[in-house]
Amino acid sequence: MTNIYPLVRNEVLKIWKKKRFFVIVLILAVLIPIFTYAQLRVALNVQKQMGTEDWRIVVQQQIQDYENRVSSPRMQEEWKRWYIVEIQRLQLHLDQNIDPKSPNGVTFTNQFVANSVGLFLPLLVLVIAADLVAGEHSAGTIKLLLTRPIKRWKVLLSKYIALTIYVSITVLLLAAMSYLISGLVFGFNGWMQPVLTGFQVIGSELNINNINIIPQWQFLVMELGLAWFSSLVVACLAMMVSVLVRSIAAGMGIMLATLIAGTILTNMVSSWESAKYFFMVNLQTVSYLSGAVPPIQGLTLSFSLLNLSVWAMISIVISFIVFTKRDILN
Amino acid sequence: MGTKGEVLVLSVKHLKKKISNKWIIKDISFDIYEGQIFGFLGPNGSGKTTTIRMLVDLIRPTEGSIYVCGKNVQTEHDEALKNVGCIVENPELYSYLTGWENLEHFAAMLPNISKQRIQEVVEIVGMDQRIHDKVKTYSLGMRQRLGIAQALLGKPRLLILDEPTNGLDPQGIKELRIFIRNLAKEGLSLFISSHLLSEIQLMCDRVAIIRKGEVISVGNVDELLEQSTSTVLWGISPVEQGKEVLQSFQSIELIQLNDMEIDCSPASQTVATQMNPDEVSKVNEQMVKSGIQVTSIEIKKPSLEDMFLTLTEGEKID
Amino acid sequence: MRSSRLLWSVILIVALLTTSIFIYGFVNAIQTVVYPDGSNLTTPDEERIEDIAPSDDDIVILSLGDSLTEGTGDRSENGYVGVVKNLLEKNEEKPVFLHTFAVDGYTTSQLLDFISTQNGTRTSIKQANLILMTIGGNDMFSPGEEIIIETSREYMTNALENLDKIFAELQSLNPEADIIYVGLYNPFTEIDKDGEISLFVQEWNNEVFKITTKYKQALFIPTFDLFYKNTKNYLSSDVYHPNEEGYKRIGERIVKALQ
């Protein structure tokens, strides 16, 4: 009966007026300069050690360093695999004369997005998503919201749409702010700079049959697309938790614990293969673009995307069932 | 049965609710007609709030049905709730929005509410002064008024107010009473729950009293009062023989009054009874026959509060 | 009110735009990674390294070759290269930078390939003021295997040819830098009763010396004598690579030769 459009507008304005989004802006405004400074220090340090700004020498040094590590008998098998793939990746950059880390705002943004997708970006999304249903419960406004002549599924749907809107804006904001802030230090150019993509890691071999050189802006757009998808999945799961536990703090806690457990699992270089069915280890969708070794053998982009989609779908179904059926008792 | 119109606005039939294997609401039925102010009384834990939540589809009944203007609340949610404005428990609005933004928010959830209508309800509740302030700066009374404004937005035919006098000062309560009367005059039906029984007595046309999830009495306030037994105070001597005479009547119940103004101790020679005032002369005759001196007979007209206490036996929660 | 309406419009438009861009990027990413359509890589142009020359403001040391240059056996992990760097820093009062490109187990053919094809190496060679190198040992001996002089000698000819090419390549890339070849020593003096291995090692050193004379920047630094007496005092626990003390002796000799 009533259109969904005004409901979405309501939800979007509420999130804005509740200043949830400013929290995100604030977090980014504080942290990005710190990361930029750290990156600057790394660059300065390398220059101090190597006495050169030439990236080829730096990359070559890194390759030789990795080569020596791989030949060391003490090297663990999983790490060896990582180094071998990394050597091949760096070597390709060297052969193609493409700097993998040229210092400019766009490259910084690229790397920042890639590093954010596993934990930082999900946390930002959580700031909004955890509050969306639980906030109405704890403020008691859920009673007003659900006694309107509007079916409950429409109310929930409007919240999902509003959430999607803010996920998009959050990802955009992350990219824009990291470009602007790091650009002040590293310069604003680099959009057309070539980058390599299309790597496939098979065992410890890097399949280079399908590698393409694309301008960095295109790489950034692809990367943002994947990061956006990962964030959306986290948002859906946080929404389900928000519907189920009805408390902002508990919801935040559950999601935080899950996400951090995910990063720990990822770092453990799991030989436990069925760990790949957890959504947390699949969040790093961006790394498939630049050819990093997946944390668990057998992970591919298609597997991760499918896995994340299934998790998201299940969470959406549960949210809708619980939200529309549940008695509002408190 | 209705006192004003004969148009049925709310019809509750055999409402039952079971929560974790316990029947919270056992069997509740009542009707509200157009222009009627319906009071809903019950001690805490009697199932008042649960019933109200079922009326507005926050809780689904286990059995029974609720019709608003002929539409089933469960199966025709939108059509039924279009006619209902409500405040469930406290008027919890979005504290980080202004009063006006709150009204805009809820207006967006109703079909065809113009800006003029928002301005109208703001004027009805007399909030023009502070409507653009954040709700978190409002007093409880102002929130209550904003809550009513919000409930009136969609020109409902039934207004459900849960404990509307909560947190209001005596002046506010008086204003609210007049306000509610005026609304009813315009043909709006009101469903008001309260534990302030005197308020209900002053405001309502009809009343339902519930206890332990059951309606124990429902009817027009006047009818209810007439039907019920009265408290009769007997000044008799000797007291003990007199009590025996009183006890010989099946319909008479000796009671203890907790009223400080009436001394019911044996020394005062006053016995309080619960009985039908029509029987007083018959009893008096019997007393005289038994040689008991009757020094005074006082029939106290019951208030709704007395009736409520009698009916619910002063019981709180089990 | 009015500000709300403006806010909503801005948020909606921004969200619609970014969402469509993200969906485009998402689909594009899947196409690129999951359904790849061949490669657009081309063989890189012949030489894409910049034309740079060594600077006088600082000293860049480039170390090439095998495990001796990499510093295997030295617990402080600097090897003789580190010793040279530290001494030069002290003597020259200029910043000294180190590019360590040596890899365990490298042979002459691998090194030749390495300096001919690797962009980073070639850039570094052009920039270097001093090139330090050990190579050839892995061509003739395999650590842990029995030494058969006859077999080793068969490999020698080829190794020397490669070494000649290495010097030529280095000189063509950088005609200014000193190129130091650190000679081989005999780590097997204990088992080498009749001196057969020592003779063979010296034979190699002689041949290398002959090559170095053809290149004016090249300098042969002998180490045979440093490890001839009390050999095991200067060798690490693998009884093959030098220990810290052994590397120190090599490094000091190089710096003396450069003065």
Q: Is C32's Cβ below 8 Å from some Cβ in A? A: yes
pTM of the model: 0.82
Query: What pLDDT, on the 0 to 100 scale, is given for residue B259?
Result: 56
Query: What pLDDT, on the 0 to 100 scale, is given for residue C230?
Result: 84
State the pLDDT confidence band at B2, using cuts at 50, 70 and 90.
very low
Q: What is the ipTM of this complex?
A: 0.90
State the pLDDT confidence band at B3, using cuts at 50, 70 and 90.
very low
Range with top average pLDDT, A194-203, B207-216, C29-38, C158-167: C158-167
When mean pLDDT is compared across A50-54, B64-68, C255-259, the lowest value belongs to A50-54
> CA nearest B102 in C: which residue?
C1
Confirm if C5 and A9 have CB atoms less than 8 A apart: no
> CA nearest A229 in C: which residue?
C26
Record: contact C120-A289, CB cut-off 8 A = no
Confirm if A171 and C18 have CB atoms less than 8 A apart: yes
Record: contact C33-A213, CB cut-off 8 A = no
Q: Is C119's Cβ below 8 Å from some Cβ in A? A: yes
A10, pLDDT greater than 80: yes
B108, pLDDT greater than 80: yes
Query: What pLDDT, on the 0 to 100 scale, is given for residue B225?
Result: 65
Interface probe for A, chosen from B20, B49, B54, B77 (most Cβ of A below 10 Å), is B77
C5, pLDDT greater than 80: yes
Q: Considering chain A, what is the average pLDDT of its residues?
A: 88
Taking the alpha carbons of C51, C53, C57, C59 in that order, is the dihedral positive or negative? positive
Query: What pLDDT, on the 0 to 100 scale, is given for residue C50?
Result: 63
Architecture in CATH of B229-301 = 2-Layer Sandwich (3.30)
Query: What pLDDT, on the 0 to 100 scale, is given for residue A86?
Result: 83
Alpha-carbon gap: B232 to the closest alpha carbon of chain A (Å): 44
B308, pLDDT greater than 70: no
Which tokens hold the place of A134?
């639980």
The predicted model gives A28-53 an average pLDDT of 86
State the pLDDT confidence band at C258, using cuts at 50, 70 and 90.
confident
When mean pLDDT is compared across A59-68, A223-232, B225-234, B307-316, the lowest value belongs to B307-316
The predicted model gives C217-221 an average pLDDT of 92
Which tokens hold the place of B84?
């209902």
Query: What pLDDT, on the 0 to 100 scale, is given for residue B282?
Result: 83
Which tokens hold the place of C191?
């088992």
- Give the closest residue to C227 by CA, choosing from C259, C174, C182: C182
Record: contact C4-B104, CB cut-off 8 A = yes
The predicted model gives B290-302 an average pLDDT of 79
Record: contact C4-B101, CB cut-off 8 A = yes
The predicted model gives C154-182 an average pLDDT of 91
Query: What pLDDT, on the 0 to 100 scale, is given for residue A158?
Result: 96
Going by their DSSP bridges, the two strands C218-221 and C178-182 should be labelled as parallel
Q: Is A143's Cβ below 8 Å from some Cβ in C? A: no
Query: What pLDDT, on the 0 to 100 scale, is given for residue B284?
Result: 84
Query: What pLDDT, on the 0 to 100 scale, is given for residue B263?
Result: 56
Query: Considering only CB atoms, which chain C residues are within 8 Å of B122?
Result: none
Q: Which of residues 214-233 of A touch C (CB under 8 A)?
A: 214, 218, 221-226, 228-229
C1, pLDDT greater than 60: no
Backbone angles phi, psi at C110, to 5 degrees: -65, -40
Rounded Cα–Cα distance for residues B154 and B140 (Å):
23
Record: contact C4-B100, CB cut-off 8 A = no
State the pLDDT confidence band at B159, using cuts at 50, 70 and 90.
very high
Query: What pLDDT, on the 0 to 100 scale, is given for residue C55?
Result: 77
Alpha-carbon gap: C117 to the closest alpha carbon of chain A (Å): 8
Tens of pLDDT, residues B179-198: 888 888 988 999 998 876 67
Which among C23, C28, C58 is the nearest to A51, CB-wise? C58
Using N-to-C axis directions, what is the helix angle for A120-132 and A20-50, rounded to 10°?
170
| Distance (Å) of CA B39 to CA B1, B165, B190, B227 | 16, 13, 8, 18
Q: Which is more confidently placed, A71 or A38? A: A38
A259, pLDDT greater than 80: yes
Query: What pLDDT, on the 0 to 100 scale, is given for residue B317?
Result: 35
Query: Considering only CB atoms, which chain A residues are within 8 Å of C19?
Result: 164-165, 168, 228
Rounded Cα–Cα distance for residues A312 and B3 (Å):
56
B274's enclosing H/E stretch is strand B270-275
> CA nearest A19 in B: which residue?
B96
DSSP alpha helices (H): ranges in chain A? 4-17, 20-50, 55-71, 77-95, 105-116, 120-132, 134-139, 142-146, 152-186, 216-245, 248-267, 287-290, 301-325
- Domain spans of chain B? 8-225, 229-301
Query: Considering only CB atoms, which chain C residues are within 8 Å of B118?
Result: none
DSSP string, A16-30: HHTTHHHHHHHHHHH
Q: Which of residues 90-119 of B touch C (CB under 8 A)?
A: 100-101, 104
State the pLDDT confidence band at A225, using cuts at 50, 70 and 90.
very high
Query: Considering only CB atoms, which chain C residues are within 8 Å of B104?
Result: 1, 4
B226 alpha-carbon distance from chain centroid: 18
Alpha-carbon gap: C246 to the closest alpha carbon of chain A (Å): 21
Tens of pLDDT, residues A265-295: 877 766 677 888 889 889 988 888 887 777 7
| Distance (Å) of CA A204 to CA A285, A286, B262 | 19, 19, 98
Record: contact C127-A209, CB cut-off 8 A = no
Q: Is C228's Cβ below 8 Å from some Cβ in A? A: no
Task: Give B32: exposed, middle or buried? Use CB within 10 Å, 0-12, 13-18, 19+.
Answer: buried
CB pairs under 8 A between A and B: 84
State the pLDDT confidence band at B163, using cuts at 50, 70 and 90.
confident
> CA nearest A327 in B: which residue?
B59
Q: Considering chain C, what is the average pLDDT of its residues?
A: 86
Query: What pLDDT, on the 0 to 100 scale, is given for residue B4?
Result: 45
Using N-to-C axis directions, what is the helix angle for B170-185 and B140-152, rounded to 10°?
10
Residues of chain B with pLDDT > 90, as a percent, come to 34
Query: What pLDDT, on the 0 to 100 scale, is given for residue C6?
Result: 92
Rounded Cα–Cα distance for residues C209 and C156 (Å):
14
C193, pLDDT greater than 50: yes
Query: What pLDDT, on the 0 to 100 scale, is given for residue A243?
Result: 93
- The per-residue b/e assignment along A287-312, b for 16 or more CB within 10 angstroms, e otherwise, is bbbbbbbbbbbebbbebbbebbeebb
Query: What pLDDT, on the 0 to 100 scale, is given for residue C46?
Result: 56
- Chain C partners (3+ C-beta pairs within 8 A): A, B
Bridge partners for B23 per DSSP: B18
Tens of pLDDT, residues B198-250: 777 778 888 888 888 888 888 887 777 666 666 778 888 888 888 888 888 87
- Domain spans of chain A? 4-19+104-325
- Give the closest residue to A326 by CA, choosing from A238, A246, A233, A272: A246
Confirm if A304 and A285 have CB atoms less than 8 A apart: yes
Alpha-carbon gap: C11 to the closest alpha carbon of chain B (Å): 17
Record: contact C14-A63, CB cut-off 8 A = no
The predicted model gives C219-248 an average pLDDT of 88
Rounded Cα–Cα distance for residues A218 and B145 (Å):
56
> CA nearest B101 in C: which residue?
C1
Query: What pLDDT, on the 0 to 100 scale, is given for residue C47?
Result: 56
Tens of pLDDT, residues B13-59: 999 999 888 898 988 999 999 989 999 988 777 888 899 999 999 99
Largest CA distance in chain C: 102
Query: Considering only CB atoms, which chain A residues are within 8 Å of C7?
Result: 13, 16
Q: 3.30.1360.30, 3.40.50.300, 1.10.357.10, 3.40.50.2300: which CATH number matches B8-225?
A: 3.40.50.300
Record: contact A169-C18, CB cut-off 8 A = yes
Q: Is A309's Cβ below 8 Å from some Cβ in C? A: no
**Residue A188 neighbours by CB under 8 Å, 6+ apart:** A104, A105, A179
Q: Which is more confidently placed, A238 or B88? A: A238
Record: contact B105-A328, CB cut-off 8 A = no
Rounded Cα–Cα distance for residues C138 and B234 (Å):
125
Confirm if A288 and C33 have CB atoms less than 8 A apart: yes
Rounded Cα–Cα distance for residues A3 and A5 (Å):
5
- Where does B46-188 show beta strands of DSSP type E? 63-68, 71-72, 84-87, 158-162
> What amino acid occupies position A318?
I
Rounded Cα–Cα distance for residues A276 and A290 (Å):
20
Alpha-carbon gap: B73 to the closest alpha carbon of chain A (Å): 10
Angle at C222 between CA C217 and CA C227, to 5 degrees: 155
Query: What pLDDT, on the 0 to 100 scale, is given for residue B98?
Result: 94
Angular region, B174: left φ>0, alpha ψ -120 to 50, beta rest? alpha
A74, pLDDT greater than 80: no
Alpha-carbon gap: B53 to the closest alpha carbon of chain A (Å): 8
Query: What pLDDT, on the 0 to 100 scale, is given for residue B204?
Result: 87
Record: contact A222-C11, CB cut-off 8 A = no
Alpha-carbon gap: B114 to the closest alpha carbon of chain C (Å): 13
Q: Which of residues 120-139 of C touch A (CB under 8 A)?
A: 120-121, 123-124, 127
Q: Which is more confidently placed, B276 or A20? A: A20
Query: Considering only CB atoms, which chain C residues are within 8 Å of B100?
Result: 1
A312, pLDDT greater than 90: yes
